[in-house]
Amino acid sequence: MFFLRSLRQHPEFRTGMRASAPVAPGIAAWGLMTGVAMVKAGMSVTEAVAMTVLVYAGSSQLAAIPLLMAGAPAWVIWATGFCVNLRFVVFSLHLRTYLMHMPRWRRLVNGFLTADLTYAIFTSRFPQPATDAEGRRAQEASLAGNYCMTRIAGPAPACWAWRWPISSRAAGGWASPACCAWWASCARWPTRGCARWRR
């Protein structure tokens, strides 16, 4: 939640950004490569921007590009993107214990913005969820710092190269964030299912 001042001012926010900084060049290269692949496959800049906005994760974008160019049915493209992004459900199942104390809107935003490397860096720094209020705030600040850095890194090279945000991280999208946010907002699985989702 990098837009919340209380988290940005927490020391763990900067720690999270520093932890993500070493992987930022790789994320930037991935974003640039995905943008180049879209344009080289014959997509217009407008189509590439639309794909960036509507398809979450560069891996799903890369999987969908040849299917789009081959004229595959929409259901095949959707199913491919869904399968590629199933890893976010696993991430969310693990992160739910870190996020359950938050209001639903914060769980949804954190679930939406958390990606592969953000998850890996965060869980290696915090193998267990905090049990006290200050520890939970520190963990959320660290997570926000992590994904703030990775969200900055992806679009930057593509914006520089084409002056258009056509990288894999420019805006996020709908497929996996919906799964990620839903799972992150659910109650303690399997005993209570998604009772908290209905509240």
Read off the amino acid at residue 1. Answer: M
**52 compared with 72, residue with greater pLDDT:** 72
Q: What is the pLDDT of residue 72?
A: 92
The string of DSSP letters for 131-170 reads -SHHHHHHHHHHHHHHHHHHHHHTHHHHHHHHSS--STTS
163, pLDDT greater than 70: no
Q: Dig out the tokens for 169 from the structure.
A: 């991280």
CA distances from 103 to 28, 32, 181, 187 (A): 32, 35, 12, 12
Predicted TM-score (pTM) of the model is: 0.70
Say what percent of the chain tops pLDDT 70: 74
162 touches 31 (CB < 8 A): no
Q: Residue 122: pLDDT above 90?
A: yes
> What is the token pair recorded at 29?
């290269």
| pLDDT higher than threshold 50 for residue 197 | no
The tens digit of pLDDT for each residue in 123-139 reads 999 999 999 999 999 99
Structure confidence by residue, pLDDT tens digits, 64-104: 999 988 999 999 999 998 999 888 888 888 999 999 999 99
Encoding tokens for residue 144? 């926000």
